[in-house]
Structures are given as C-alpha cells and as structure tokens.
Amino acid sequence: MSEQISKIQTKFTNKVLDTIEFRGEQTIIVAREAIHEVLAFCRDELDFQFLVDICSVDHEQHPRFEVVYELATIDDSVHLRVKAPVAEEEEVQTVSDLWKTADWHEREIYDMMGIRFSDHPNLKRILMWEGYPFHPLRKEFPLAGKPTDMPDVAFTGVAPMEGGPFVTSSSACDTVSAEPRAKGES
C-alpha cells in the first residue's frame, strides 16, 4: 500500500470503502458524500495538483454508477485513482472549484450518463442539445440510437464554409485528393 493511500485512510477512516493495488496502480474507493473533501486533501496535502481525467461507469446494479477521478503529481511520478459509488438519483459534489478542468469533464458525465454535480457553475449539456431526453452512454441506450425530433441540419441550408478559403473534392479517387486545401492548390 502506498504512503498516499495510508494518509487518506488515516484521515478519512470511516469514509474509505476499499483500496486496490493492481499492477502498480493505486485505487481508493471512498463514500460519495466525502469525495470533495478527500480530493481537496489529495490536492492540498498529498500534492496531487493535476486532475488527469474524470469519467463514469454504468454498472446496471445498485449502486448503479461510479465516478472515477484520475490524479497525478505535477512531475507525473505518482498517480492515484479515486472512485466513488453513486446511486441512480444521487448527486456528486463538484470539484470544479479545486481544478478548473473538472468543469467540462463533469458536464460531459452529466450529458452522457445523467449524473448530476451539485454546486457546478454551469451544469448543462456539452455534446447533446438541451432538451435531449436521453443519456447515450447508459447501458440501456440502444447502440443504433433513438429516434429524435432534431432536424437533419447537415442538409438544410448553405454549407457554413461555402465560398471560404478552402475547397474539397468529394468525388476524388483517394483520400489525399479529397483533403481540404487552399484554393488554387492542386
């Protein structure tokens, strides 16, 4: 067990649910309600200044989701994975106040999985349009997608770059010839 994991366990005795060491990678699983406090401790006391990624997993069992935080030290010498189980209707405290980059990661998780982040400064969809009723990365979402009332905007008007500085050749025989290039270049 790493020194960092030991310090987290000592500080948050009843909030640590499990620890895992696999192939040199350290993972700690903490209670959802303690995630902000634990991550603040990791940043301020353990020197994990870099939030590499935030993602989520749909397990289709209770608790349904898991939010996963990948942390690293600035010199990239130490990595830590922090996980928190999240039930279907629960919210997770945002960490965008700790790391600005968490803003877009949390928005993507909300958009694709439906997990809400409390106190997030701008929790709205980032990939799908507002009002889209589904969350495409949930396991019940069909691979072929679902019908939608969204108009097919790709063919409804003038192409946004028409008349611009680049040209393409969609009828080209190979991909090199079809690549966009400046007008007048062959």
Per-residue pLDDT reduced to its tens digit, 97-140 = 999 999 999 999 999 999 999 999 999 999 988 888 899 999 98
What is the rounded distance in angstroms from the CA atom of residue 167 to the CA atom of residue 182?
6
Find the angle CA(149)-CA(155)-CA(156) to the nearest 5 degrees: 70
Report the pLDDT value the prediction gives residue 129, as an integer from 0 to 100. Answer: 85
Of 24 and 93, which is predicted with more confidence? 93
For 38-59, the pLDDT digits (tens) are: 999 999 999 999 999 999 999 9
Residue 158, pLDDT above cutoff 80: no
What is the rounded distance in angstroms from the CA atom of residue 16 to the CA atom of residue 29?
6
Report the pLDDT value the prediction gives residue 79, as an integer from 0 to 100. Answer: 95
What is the rounded distance in angstroms from the CA atom of residue 8 to the CA atom of residue 47?
13
For 65-108, the pLDDT digits (tens) are: 999 999 999 999 999 999 999 999 999 999 999 999 999 999 99
Element (H, E) at 72: strand 65-72
Q: Which residue has the tokens 């980032």?
A: 126
What is the CATH class of 3-151? alpha beta
**Angle between helix 3-11 and helix 35-44 axes, rounded to 10 deg:** 130
Of 168 and 16, which is predicted with more confidence? 16
List the chain domain ranges. Answer: 3-151
What is the rounded distance in angstroms from the CA atom of residue 186 to the CA atom of residue 184?
6
